[in-house]
Amino acid sequence: MDIFIYGIVNGMTFALMAVGFSFVYGISRLPNFAHGALYVVTGFIAWTFINSAGLPYWLSIILSLIIVSLAGVAIYQFVMIRVRGMPISEIIVSFAIALAILEGLRLQGIGGFKGFIGPGYVLPRFIDGVVDTPWVTIDLQRLLIIAVGLLIMGFMWLFTHYHKMGLGLRAMAQHERAALMLGINSDRMANIALGIGSALAGLAAIAIMPLGNINCESGYSVLTNAIAVCVIGGLGSWGGTILAALTLGLATTIMSAIGGTMWNNVLVFGLIIFILIVRPSGLFGQQKKLEERV
Amino acid sequence: MEEEKEPIIKVRNISKTFGGVKALNNVSFDLIEGEVMGVIGPNGSGKTTLVNLITGFVKPDSGEVFFRDVKLTGLPPYKIADLGVARTFQIVRPYLSLKTYKNLIVPLWSPRARRFAGSRGGDRDAVAIDLLEEVGFERDAYVPYKLASVLPLGYLKRLELARCLALRPEVIICDEVFSGLSMSEIASMVPLVENLRIKGASIIMVEHRLRELFRVADKVIMLDFGEKIAEGEPEEVMQDPRVKRAYLGEEIEL
Amino acid sequence: MSAILEIKNLMLFYENAVAINNINITVNEGKIVGIFGSNSAGKSSLMLCISGIILDVRKKEVMKGGERITVTGEIKFRGENVLSVEPSERAKKGIILCPERRLIFPESSALENLRIGGYLASKAQAKKTLEYVFTLFPELEKLKRRAGGFLSGGEQQMLAIGRALMAQPKLLLLDEPLLGLAPSIEIRLARAIKIINKETGITIVVSEQYARPILPIVDYAYVLENGGLVAEGTGSELLENPDVKEAYFGM
Amino acid sequence: MAGEERRKERLDRGIKARTDGLYAIQSWREVGYLVAPRAGLIIGLLILPLVLPGLYWQRVFALAGVYALLALSFDFLAERVGLVCIGGAFVIGVGGYIAGGLNYYFKLSPALTIPIATFGGALICTLLWLPCLPLRGIYFAVVTFMFPFLTQSIILAGGLLGSTEGLSPVAGFPNIWVGIYLIMVIVLLSIFGLRRLCGEDIGIVFAGVKDNDQAVLASGINITRVKVYALFIATAMGCFGGAFIAHFSGFAGLSLFAVDFSIMPIAACIMGGPGTMAGPVLGAFILAPLSELLRGLGQLRVVLYCAVLVGFILFKPEGLLNWAARKYHQFEHWVKV
């Protein structure tokens, strides 16, 4: 029974990781490889604020989120804006940025920047303490993840479907030039999209990282999980994203209980390829049907 | 038609729905060998869906399509083209980065073209230039060497036709070959279709321009909201009241 | 009445090729002006220049290292030269382009397409225009829920025009609205364009290749040939001109 | 009228009568004009190893040859066929482990293992990537990028092929010159072989698949089969590179899956000049020695590659070779409107 509970929690962590990426790629069609990198960067910045600068917990979190979303905006404004039209270059550029950040953080004490290797660096938990439900004991941090996850999902759904900004993003994603004709400044939209997307990645880091330590490998796995959730759930559909995250969460929990965590990656991978072949536009996506029609 | 010719394409009650929209509803008809059949109907009546269904780009929900008692439904598009059922696209699809005559190398490289090539298979460029002349490129000689992206729409439509001819098809399906062309361009396209017919190819023409279509078509079927509402000789179909109301709106233009 | 749009010796180069050659056009407030010409006469390029989308095309070409696009001359919109103003800014000023081949948003529903159109409008304006669009094109109200990609050619064109209206245009540019539509829908749309102009007073510039259905509703018209102006005049004047009549009106 | 408006115009220099590829040569001078750049490349590549001081730089040079092969195969796949494959490390790993394994376990000589590793490895990579072929753009890129990590974790988890410490000793080449000239010849063969291939009809079909795959489908050609041909060619070059490294360094371990093999070729390709075959090779021979200089900085090398990559994509998308060719063939001057 507790596998089921842990599966749900794991599912929500996947959802949290994926929401930022899904918002940027799913809604605005901007490939953001650097999602995983920003996730890890938030961890480091928050850690430095708390430990080196000794700032209170709240302040350091807010500061690191602001810095990360500014980094996201900077990525678009100075880099992605110049490769908008060309799909091949877009992928390569965002892939290069992600690698630069992740590998850069692995450095050992170069210049003033102390590399963070080794297990010693852990983000403090948001809430300590444990609550034992009739079936299994869960620490509050995991419950927090579920709450934050659902909160963000709800906010994102409202934002994309009803707020004017959400409409602008959907327009820019489907046909940038047509959006320009209607007075939607696509560059400003993309800046906002990346800013929010990066902040979401940061938020995911703040909530999930305390469970483990801050390391670079999580950058790659967050990216793969986020893409897996987006692929399986279907682009741009929030219902699909949540469902995909939960299924993935359950599957990986069961997998690690049986086969061992090593095979998790293989499982996530197998699912991506399997879903893409069976239903190329994901469970809820419409792209395939539309492609047929046009 | 003296003796009853064998129908080359048999379409048996196919229907297809897209996201709640009934694009095609139980449509059946036969294309007799060597005949030109017109498919007319207002926008959204399912004409392009019909073409996509026959050529395998879209799978029908129900019903079957036969090409000389070979079942086409379920086959991928390249297999259907390999059997000899070639199509042009409503929105032209040239290879913009290639030169005009190089565009024809792709179909000439296909397994079907190679089977028919025989002795002359080796030099595909020469075959490509001949094909371009066949569809009326010969008037200005340097056009085949220009990039496909600079060609006007009239030439691109002819290139689509040439792409089908490269496969030496037995059935050609033209999806609105005349739409978007100027009067003079249409006038020069009609003889092309006519000599295709003389060469014995059976043609299905999906079209809006009735005047030009009726000069070429032996038989016409009319689709409206996915259903076949009329079939027969062009003049006969035109008199049918339903056709007039559904197609030409209030004033009768013809 | 004052001229809402004045174009003075507009030149457009794609690398070394001239796409628009020294064009001078004036459009008076509240009128419908037609621009006729065959396929590569420069109609769409002209529309791209007026709406400013040509700047976006140039930006993309520069990034791709493709051909060099140069635009020179003057485009005055209500007295202000907008030649180098960003397309989204021009839309705010009221220049709205309804593009060739419609370019509606395939994944969004028809209603969402319209609401995206109303991005610039205030809530009240959007509500009022939405009702007007539904009275103008009742079919769109029935198709509200359906995704744009599943609409037929005619329905997509109505949606595109409706979407452009939602953006509160002062100058509405229609680029080949009747391309590839059945005769009955051509007549219906031409009549709708006339109604829009009469009821809302929006100035409309329509570019079309096969001019017959548009001719009756046009107050003034220009004929383009290979990027240059070859004839201009009111609808009836153009009808007398023999070579124009044969080439564009298919009599 | 505002000040005299001027426009940059590009005019051809050198040979006057020229359409793309076909040169109407009127004099020997023009023959020299054309042959000079190509000859320079070939002779340069062949002489350079002799000139290089010391064994260390010769090894760096050979490694640069492998990177050149990888850059060439990435450029061929991305620019000619439209498949963005960021899995260089996987191909190198497969090639390296096959060659190393055969040599280590069955004592086969390099002359045998390299061909087996090249074509066997290409077969394996193509089959493994076959199900991913229908993927579009970013998905194909992500899947291919993750394969090296996947196989790395499988090898570690399963303890296969001498997991962490890898397989050594692996037989080396009789002497260093054989190794160097082997890779040089293969690189040159690949450049002119691929360029010839892209001129052939099959190359046109590749371009067709990249440009508009629906049209190719309607012309009766099975797109997946065409992509498999392209993938086989590209992975064969990659696997040869892997096998070469295994034998050249005498060791086949997890280092074959390093991220450098995935990112470096792309940086070289973008810097050198995407689309031309010689460009990426040029890029590889510039970047590889540069990264050796920074060997001491450890992972900063990857950051360097990324910086070069982003820099070139943003500011010089056409790459060095195209830029140089353009300058060589054309000159620009301002002309009044």
pLDDT digits (tens, 9 = 90+) for C153-192: 788 899 999 999 998 899 999 998 887 777 778 888 888 9
Pair (C208, C135) in one structural domain: no
CB A245 within 8 A of CB D129: no
Asked if the model's pLDDT at residue B252 lies above 50, the reply is no
Cα–Cα distance between A136 and B38 in angstroms, integer? 71
Any domain includes D330: yes
To the nearest whole Å, the CA of C53 is away from the closest chain A CA by: 7
User: Looking at the predicted structure, is the pLDDT value of residue C13 above 70?
Assistant: yes
CA count, 13 A, side-chain hemisphere, A253 = 20
Query: Strand B171-175 to strand B21-32: parallel, antiparallel, or no bridges (unpaired)?
Result: unpaired
Nearest chain C alpha carbon to B182 = C38
Question: Which token pair is D35?
Answer: 């042959």
Strands C203-208 and B36-40: unpaired
Q: Is residue D42, in this structure, part of any structural domain at all? A: no
User: Nearest CA of chain B to the CA of A85: how many Å?
Assistant: 17
| Interface of chain C toward chain A, CB-CB under 8 angstroms | 51, 53, 56, 60, 63-64, 86-88, 91-92, 96-99, 103-108, 112, 115-117, 119-120, 147, 149-150, 163-164, 167
Q: Which residue, of C168, C188, C204, is where some domain finishes?
A: C168
Residue D106: CB partners within 8 Å, gap ≥ 6? none
SS (H, E, C) B173-219: EEECCCCCCCHHHHHHHHHHHHHHHHCCCEEEEECCCHHHHHHHCCE
Q: What is the pLDDT of residue A183?
A: 86
Domain containing B14: what range? 7-248
CB-based contacts of B244, cutoff 8 Å, min separation 6: B238, B252
Q: Which of A219, A21, A203 is nearest to A103 (CA)?
A: A219
**Span C113-124, mean pLDDT?**
88
| Contact residues on chain B for C210, CB-CB shorter than 8 A | 182-183
Contacting residues of D for C70, CB less than 8 Å apart: 7, 337
Residue with the bigger pLDDT between D271 and A121: it is D271
Q: Which domain holds residue C236?
A: 3-94+169-249
Helix (H/G/I), strand (E/B), else coil: C250: coil
What is the C-alpha separation between C100 and D287, in angstroms, rounded?
Answer: 46
Specify burial of residue B96 (Cβ count, 10 A radius: 0-12, 13-18, 19+). Answer: middle
Whether the per-residue pLDDT at B253 is higher than 60: the answer is no
CA of A292, closest CA in chain B: separation in Å?
Answer: 6
B85-87 β-sheet, strand order: B85-87, B171-175, B202-206, B36-40, B219-224, B227-232
- What does the DSSP 8-state code read for residue A294? -
- Long-range contacts of range A24-27, CB-CB < 8 Å, 24 or more positions apart? A24/A193, A24/A194, A24/A197, A25/A230, A25/A235, A25/D138, A26/A230, A26/A235, A26/A236, A26/A237, A26/A241, A27/A160, A27/A166, A27/A169, A27/A170, A27/A173, A27/A193, A27/A236
Please give the structure tokens belonging to residue A186.
């696509």
Asked, as a colleague might, if the bond just before D169 is cis with ω within 30 of 0, I would say yes
Residue of A nearest to C63 (CA): A82
Q: Which residue has the higher pLDDT, C87 or D321?
A: C87
* Sequence ranges of the domains in chain A: 2-116+132-216
Residue with more model confidence, B97 or B249? B97
Residue C172 is classified by DSSP as E
List the single residue in C with minimal CA-CA distance to B40.
Answer: C182
Averaged pLDDT for residues A103-126 = 55
Same domain, C78 and C188: yes
CA distance D9 to chain C (A): 7
The side-by-side arrangement of strands in the sheet containing C203-208 is C95-98, C171-175, C203-208, C32-36, C220-225, C228-233
Give the burial class of D155: count Cβ atoms within 10 A of its Cβ; 0-12 exposed, 13-18 middle, 19 or more buried.
Answer: buried
Question: CA C228 → CA A11, C9, C125, C242, distances in Å?
Answer: 63, 10, 39, 19
pLDDT tens profile B8-50: 888 888 888 876 677 888 889 888 888 889 988 776 677 888 8
Residue D254 DSSP one-character state: G
**B101, part of any domain:** yes
User: Do residues C224 and C43 make contact, with C-beta atoms less than 8 angstroms apart?
Assistant: yes
Helix residue ranges, H only, C65-182: 87-93, 110-117, 123-136, 138-142, 153-166
C147 with C243, same domain?
Answer: no
Other chains touching A, judged by 3 or more CB pairs under 8 Å: B, C, D
| Nearest of D118, D230, C87 to residue A183 by alpha carbon | C87
Q: Please report the pLDDT score of residue D232 as a whole number.
A: 92
Mutate to test the interface with D, among C8, C61, C72, C83 (most CBs of D within 10 A): C72
The pair of three-digit structure tokens given for residue A3, joined into one six-digit string: 């596998």
Answer with the residue of higher pLDDT: B144 or D216.
D216
Residue A106 and residue D299 in contact, taking contact as beta carbons nearer than 8 Å: yes
- pLDDT over 60 at C99, yes or no: yes
How many cross-chain Cβ pairs, B to C, lie less than 8 Å apart?
67
CA distance D225 to B78: 11
- Look-up: residue for tokens 């509606």? C104
Neighbours of C17 (CB within 10 A): 10
State how far residue C22 is from chain D, nearest Cα, in angstroms: 11
The residue to which tokens 């040239």 are assigned: B94
Share above pLDDT 90 across residues of chain C, in percent, rounded to a whole number: 10
Cβ count within 10 A of residue C240: 9
**DSSP one-letter code for C177:** T
Query: pLDDT tens-digit profile of D107-163?
Result: 777 778 888 888 898 999 998 888 778 776 777 887 788 788 778 777 777 766 666
User: Residue B224 belongs to a domain with what CATH number?
Assistant: 3.40.50.300
Which residues, in sequence order, are CB contacts of D318 under 8 Å at separation 6+? C65, D273, D274, D326
Predicted local distance difference test score (pLDDT) of residue A260: 65
Residue A115 is predicted with a pLDDT of 46
| Contact between chains at A292 and B19 (C-beta distance less than 8 A) | no
Task: Please tell me the least confidently modeled range out of D118-122, D183-187, D319-323.
Answer: D319-323
Closest CA to C144 of B83, C133, D159, D25: C133
**Binary contact (B109, D211; C-beta < 8 A):** no
Per-residue pLDDT of D190-233, as tens digits, reads 888 888 888 888 888 888 888 888 888 888 888 888 999 999 99
Question: Which helix (H) or strand (E) segment is A166 a member of?
Answer: helix A164-174
Measured CA to CA, the distance from residue C184 to residue B208 in angstroms comes to 11
For chain A, how many residues are written? 294
Gap between the Cα atoms of D82 and B178, Å rounded: 32
Determine the Cα–Cα distance for residues D193 and A205; give it in Å rounded to an integer. Answer: 49
Residues 6+ apart with CB under 8 A from D298: A107, A108
Shared domain check, C87 and C8: yes
Q: What amino acid is encoded at B29 in this protein? A: F
Residue of A nearest to D312 (CA): A93
Q: What stretch of H or E contains C97?
A: strand C95-98
More confident: D235 or C245: D235
For chain D, the maximum distance between any two Cα atoms, rounded to a whole number of angstroms, is 82
Number of domains in chain C: 2
Chain C residues near residue B253 by CB distance under 8 angstroms:
183
The answer to whether the beta carbons of residues B221 and B29 sit under 8 Å apart is: yes
Contact B55/B79 with Cβ under 8 angstroms?
A: no
Run of H or E residues at C220 = strand C220-225
Asked whether residue A113 carries a pLDDT value surpassing 70, the answer given is no
Report pLDDT for C214: 81
**Phi-psi domain of D288 (left: phi exceeds 0; alpha: psi -120 through 50; beta: other):** alpha
- The rounded distance, in Å, linking the Cα atoms of D257 and D301 is 16
- Do C89 and C192 lie in one domain? The reply is yes
Residue-by-residue DSSP string for chain B: --S-PPEEEEEEEEEEEETTEEEEEEEEEEEETT-EEEEE--TTSSHHHHHHHHTTSS--SEEEEEETTEE-TTS-HHHHHHHTEEE--SS----TTSBHHHHTHHHHHSHHHHHHHGGGGS-HHHHHHHHHHHTT-TTSTTGGGSBGGGS-HHHHHHHHHHHHHTT--SEEEEESSSTT--HHHHHHHHHHHHHHHHTT-EEEEE-S-HHHHHHH-SEEEEEETTEEEEEE-HHHHHH-HHHHHHHH-SS---
pLDDT greater than 60 at residue A74: yes
Cβ-based contacts of D208 with chain B (< 8 Å): 95, 98, 103, 106
Q: Is the CB of residue A179 less than 8 Å away from at least one CB of chain C?
A: yes
Same domain, C11 and C49: yes
- Picking from C40, C147, C185, the nearest residue to B43 by CB comes out as C185
- Domain end: C168, C189, C214, which one? C168
Q: Is D276 inside any structural domain?
A: yes
Task: Give the distance from residue D318's alpha carbon to the nearest chain C alpha carbon, in angstroms.
Answer: 6
Q: Which residue of C has its CA nearest to A79?
A: C63
Flag whether B1 is in a domain. no
User: Total domain count for chain D?
Assistant: 1
Q: What is the pLDDT of residue A111?
A: 37
Mark whether C145 and C34 lie in a shared domain. no
Q: Sort out which chain A residues have CB atoms less than 8 A from B18's CB and list them.
A: 289, 292-293
- Residue of B58, B90, B91, B175 to mutate for A, most A C-beta atoms under 10 A: B58
Q: Is residue B229 domain-resident?
A: yes
pLDDT at A119 over 60: no
Q: Which of C168, C194, C216 is the last residue of a domain?
A: C168
Number of domains making up chain B = 1
- Rg of chain A taking only CA atoms, in angstroms: 19
B204 bridge partner residues: B37, B173
pLDDT at A17: 83
How many CB pairs below 8 Å do chains C and D form together?
15
Q: Are C172 and C50 in contact (CB under 8 A)?
A: no
Positive or negative torsion for Cα A149, A151, A157, A160: negative
Closest C-alpha among D306, D241, D303 to residue D271 = D306
Among candidates B81, B102, B108 on the partner chain, residue whose Cβ is nearest the Cβ of D218: B81
C24 sits in which H/E element: strand C17-28
Chain D's closest residue to C70, CA to CA, is D7
Q: Least CA distance to D219: which residue of chain B?
A: B107
Among C106-120, C152-166, D255-269, the minimum mean pLDDT is found in D255-269
Chains in touch with B (3+ beta-carbon pairs under 8 Å) read A, C, D
C16 Cβ under 8 Å from any chain D Cβ: yes
Query: Do C22 and C75 fall within a single domain?
Result: yes
Q: Is A186 on the interface with C (CB under 8 A)?
A: yes
Check CB contact of A168 with chain C, cutoff 8 Å.
yes
Q: Indicate if the pLDDT at residue A266 is higher than 80.
A: no
| pLDDT tens, position by position, D273-317 | 887 788 888 888 888 888 877 776 666 777 888 888 888 887 777
Upper half-sphere CA count for residue B236 (Cβ side, 13 Å): 10
Q: What is the DSSP letter of A22?
A: I
Residue C204 pLDDT level (bands cut at 50, 70, 90): very high
Q: Which of A218-222, B55-59, D81-85 shows the lowest per-residue confidence on average (mean pLDDT)?
A: A218-222
* C110: helix, strand or coil: helix
Same domain? C201 vs C158? no
Interface test with chain B among A281, A291, A292, by most B beta carbons within 10 Å? A292
The two structure tokens encoding residue A58: 């709240």
User: Which of D4, D9, D313 should one mutate to test binding to chain C, selecting the residue with the greatest count of C CBs within 10 A?
Assistant: D9
Contacts of B183 (CB under 8 A, 6+ apart): C210, C246, C247, C250
User: What CATH number should be reported for the domain holding residue D299?
Assistant: 1.10.3470
CA separation (Å) from A289 to A284, B78, C150? 11, 20, 9
Sheet with C17-28: strands ordered across? C17-28, C3-14, C69-77, C80-81
